[in-house]
């Protein structure tokens, strides 16, 4: 009697950029894939700036964060081009990033970052006030210093979600728009948990907490000052601020609040975002305020995600915090490697085993 071989099967629980990319790459590797999410692509991935900026956000002592982020940044050009070709979209909105300092303390921080990241073998360039103005003349006159990261990119997060969904379906992924309340009820060979802030409810002990982030989407109007040609980042009154170009305008972000599962946009949040953006680019007030939204970033205590096996049948890929879009390619590669019985060296620091009470 001949034996019919059943395809290896995996359930992916969570349909943000992480879940969709893992489902796509697993199906591409020959797995039979089901993806469960009651509202695919509607969580933190929908409310994101799309910055791919591990270098300019580097800081001494965070070698593991820089290594993982850099490994994913290196993958992004090929990963993005493959998605663009398959889905017929243009994902990349910026080909470099510029972090600016508005006071002496921030300028010293930029010099520290440039020196430390350079010592890790990555290139960042310090720019004078006049060099910054030459690159981006629409920036405010209060800028003292700039840090240019030529290798850092940005993508349109919503086009990315659409492209990943298209590629997943085209590769044979079955999308099931339902909630999962118990991983034990799933009947596939393997399970990948990518449910963001909901992950601890499905695997108790995961050290993931929600951090609220508000962003604004601004649309260009006829005759407005052109958007910058690259991602602009800075610190205003101690608050991180960024301006990311889009085809039709700008994304401005982002606030950070430890406020449980609250996703309401506040007047104070909008006020601070506009004020901080104006400090970076005074002409921001010319743009149309098209959308104000908030999402819940799944944060961990050490700012590294959880990517690893927690049982013989369950792999987790969650806790990406502010860097879900950046870490999408390396997380997909690392997770598929785990499903195949191996491990990706670049993701070693993200092993959930570094926390107690995770595996069971």
**Mean pLDDT along residues 205-211:** 96
- Mean pLDDT on 116-125: 96
The pLDDT of residue 210 is above 50: yes
pLDDT over threshold 90, residue 2: no
- Total Cβ atoms within 10 A of residue 172: 15
* 153 has a pLDDT exceeding 70: yes
> Is the predicted pLDDT of residue 259 greater than 90, yes or no?
no
Instruction: Give me the mean pLDDT over the 180-202 stretch.
Output: 97
Q: What is the pLDDT of residue 358?
A: 74
* In contact, 231 and 53? CB cutoff 8 Å: yes
Percent pLDDT > 70 in the chain is 98
What is the pLDDT, as a whole number, of residue 359? 60
Over residues 3-8, the mean pLDDT reads: 54
> Of all helices (H) and strands (E), which one includes residue 199?
helix 199-202
Q: What pLDDT does residue 142 have?
A: 93
Question: Where are the domains positioned within the chain?
Answer: 1-93+154-206+301-360
Contact 98, 136 (CB under 8 A): yes
Q: What is the pLDDT of residue 300?
A: 97
> What pLDDT shows up at residue 1?
34
Give the CATH fold of the 1-93+154-206+301-360 domain.
FAD/NAD(P)-binding domain (3.50.50)
For residues 104-117, give the mean pLDDT: 97
**Those residues with Cβ within 8 angstroms of residue 317's Cβ, 6 or more apart along the chain or in another chain:** 18, 19, 22, 192, 193, 194, 305, 306, 307, 331, 334, 335
Q: At what angle do helices 63-87 and 157-170 cross, to 10 degrees?
A: 60
- DSSP 8-state assignment for residue 230: S
pTM over 0.85: yes
């Amino acid at each position: 009697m001949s034996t019919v071989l059943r395809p290896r099967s995996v359930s992916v629980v969570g349909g943000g950029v992480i879940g969709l990319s893992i489902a796509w790459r697993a199906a591409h590797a020959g797995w039979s894939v089901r993806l469960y999410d009651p509202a695919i692509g509607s969580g933190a991935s929908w409310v994101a700036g799309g910055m791919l900026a591990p270098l300019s956000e580097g800081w001494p002592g965070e070698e593991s964060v820089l290594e993982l982020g850099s490994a994913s940044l290196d993958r992004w050009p090929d990963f993005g081009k493959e998605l663009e070709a398959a889905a017929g979209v243009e994902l990349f909105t910026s080909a470099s990033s510029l972090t600016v300092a508005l006071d002496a303390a921030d300028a010293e921080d930029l010099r520290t970052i440039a020196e430390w990241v350079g010592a890790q073998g990555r290139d960042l360039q310090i720019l004078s006030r006049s060099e910054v103005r030459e690159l981006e003349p629409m920036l405010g006159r209060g800028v003292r210093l700039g840090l240019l990261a030529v290798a850092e990119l940005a993508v349109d997060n919503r086009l990315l979600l659409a492209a990943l969904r298209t590629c997943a379906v085209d590769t044979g992924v079955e999308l099931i728009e339902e909630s999962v309340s118990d991983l034990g009820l799933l009947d596939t060979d393997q399970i990948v948990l990518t449910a963001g802030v909901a992950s601890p409810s499905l695997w108790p002990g995961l050290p993931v907490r929600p951090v609220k982030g508000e962003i604004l989407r601004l649309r260009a109007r006829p005759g407005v000052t052109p958007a910058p040609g690259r991602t602009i980042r800075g610190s205003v009154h101690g608050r991180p601020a960024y301006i990311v170009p889009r085809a039709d305008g700008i994304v401005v972000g982002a606030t950070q609040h430890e406020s449980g599962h609250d996703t309401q946009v506040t007047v104070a949040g909008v006020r601070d975002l506009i004020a901080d953006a104006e400090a970076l680019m005074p002409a921001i007030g010319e743009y149309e305020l098209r959308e104000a939204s908030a999402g819940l970033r799944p944060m961990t205590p050490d700012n590294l995600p959880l990517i690893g096996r927690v049982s013989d049948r369950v792999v987790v890929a969650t806790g990406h915090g502010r860097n879900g879009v950046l870490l999408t390619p390396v997380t997909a590669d690392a997770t598929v490697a785990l499903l195949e019985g191996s491990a990706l060296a670049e993701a070693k620091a993200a092993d959930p085993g570094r926390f107690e009470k995770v595996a069971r």
